[in-house]
Chains A and B, each alone.
Chain A
């Protein structure tokens, strides 16, 4: 049986070059399905990893009670100080709490070659902000000087927007800022402009902060901070780890993309299944006499079914691999930006992960299986005596 199956499969595959047209239909159809599926999920994956890697489990983010995002949170200067003094916060080398009270505002920047503006987060930070984000480093130029209207620009922005090259002056909300450096962090901060929080407050005429980040002291730190601040009547705040915050921010987007990918893939898969059926019926049709001859010689029905299935699966796999490679070449690491939850642009990169490729190939094989089954059964049931005389 194995020998028969191998012989029949080899016969089928060797005649594929004579049937390139229909065979290509299966390959191209499945390449499309897998490429679209992989690309959509790669987008969701890239967005997720960009936002989630911004979040640390040992840093707490404190927002005004009931605020869902930094943008709609507001804390007064006094509250900022109280929060920084909360129990459970690590002390920095200078003997002060390792904490950064930060303020964000939205500025309008223009993408290169575009006339309409995009919202970009401008974040005013305290010196400890850098210690709280060790992944962030200046890759060009220098850091901003406290007290001056200087900016450092995230790498995600430098390539995409106008007026953010080092040495350029950027006009935002009626004031001029000098770009002095650019930084890299591999996460959502790369889509922001950073400056000194005091300068930002005076320039933009704000008195308070948007959020406070605290370095947590040990595993129990979060609970200690939460309890401490809950007990203090002067503040009404929500406390969660940065990681929890960012994961929450992406949940909606990931769910949407997941559904979109599912629906689009399902529709395309349906089309591809019919394409596969068509291809394999054509293959069986073209080989009618050949299959009948082998059956007459004594080859069994099962090897016929298996050989048609194997051919279908191999073509589907080829299509799947082509699709995965296409998705990888075209989309992996492609930088795109979208409106994040602060109504500001988040720049992230598509991530075509091995797991996504694997899922794409499984879908391709499933389609190949379904597309091959009915034609295979038809091939095995060919009436030998009539098929022998087929043209």
Chain B
């Protein structure tokens, strides 16, 4: 692992709930090196998903700095942030978030529609991504014709296809049984170890966290410790 891919400096994030201002993150500072695989754990409300959304560029901090691959994303406007996400981030969600009307390959192709690639180039990239997740034979199937594990593999292929800098995984195995969950986590591990992808994953599941290189514990908006 080399220098920090993700730099979080004194980040505060607060929301307005009703009439109250609730601060979720209290001056959080964190470095995640290139090629790391980090599990974020903590009780509900500890701010782990908030941190994940900030690092993934889905949200902006109230104050503080966030730098990903040398870009200060806390300073980007929403349009710039959307374009930045398209190029740099692959998302994997707990409930897969596939488009039900599209086949697996069309789902995987979606992020490539934001690039200048030709249809032929897109087809090629989609085929590679589906091969990486082991679903070449399911390319023409729609989500409802796939199992939960297969759906999550399609979602991972979609996250990978544009070769992003960072993979952001929000409870990627939260909806899966143990065995399937382990397969998915194994896949993420391969992507990290063999393809060098930097992965940040939120999870409730200590077993899932074991697949990461390290686990960060959050509580009440602050980092508790760093477990190796």
Contacts and interface: CB of A to CB of B under 8 A. Distances in A.
B85 A297 contact: yes
B79 A14 contact: no
B46 to A, nearest CB: 16
A369 B208 CA distance: 49
A388 interface: yes
Contacts, number: 66
B97 interface: yes
Contacts of A293: 91, 93, 97, 99
A4 B114 CA distance: 7
B97 A11 contact: no
Nearest to B59: A385
Contact of B110 (A18, A294, A300): A294
Most buried by A among B56, B95, B113: B113
Nearest to B83: A298
Given A4-B113, A289-B97, A294-B110, A384 B102 contact: no
Contacts of A292: 97
Interface residues on B, range: 20 to 34
Interface in A181-233: none
Given A3-B113, A385-B59, A297 B101 contact: no
A15 interface: yes
A11 B83 contact: no
Interface residues of A, number: 23
Q: Which of B78, B95, B114 has the most CB of A within 10 A?
A: B114
A296 B91 contact: yes
A11 B158 CA distance: 16
Nearest to B93: A388
Contacts of B158: 297
B86 interface: yes
Contacts of B53: 385
B82 interface: yes
A297 B102 contact: no
A297 B99 contact: no
Given A11-B102, A14-B101, A297 B58 contact: no
B116 to A, nearest CB: 9
Contact of A295 (B82, B94, B101, B102): B82
Q: Which of B58, B95, B97, B111 has the most CB of A within 10 A?
A: B97
Nearest to B78: A301
B99 A11 contact: yes
Interface in A284-330: 289-290, 292-301
A270 interface: no
B97 A299 contact: no
Given A11-B99, A11-B101, A385-B58, A297 B86 contact: yes
A15 B102 CA distance: 10
A57 interface: no
A260 interface: no
B38 to A, nearest CB: 19
Contacts of B59: 384-385
A266 interface: no
A267 interface: no
Interface in A33-89: none
A339 interface: no
B100 interface: yes
Interface in A1-30: 3-4, 7, 11, 14-15, 18
Contacts of B85: 296-298
Nearest to B96: A293
Nearest to B54: A385
Contacts of A298: 82-87, 111, 114
Contact of A296 (B58, B99, B101): B58
A299 B113 CA distance: 9
Interface in B97-139: 97, 99-102, 110-111, 113-114
A4 B97 CA distance: 18
Nearest to B85: A298
Most chain B CB within a 10 A radius of its CB, from A11, A289, A296: A296
A294 B101 CA distance: 14
17 contacts: A3-B114, A7-B113, A11-B99, A14-B102, A290-B99, A292-B97, A293-B97, A297-B86, A297-B91, A297-B114, A298-B111, A298-B114, A300-B79, A384-B58, A384-B59, A385-B53, A389-B94
Interface of B: 49, 53, 56, 58-59, 78-79, 82-87, 91, 93-95, 97, 99-102, 110-111, 113-114, 158, 170
Given A289-B97, A292-B97, A388-B93, 9 more contacts: A15-B100, A18-B101, A293-B97, A296-B56, A299-B82, A299-B114, A300-B79, A388-B170, A389-B94
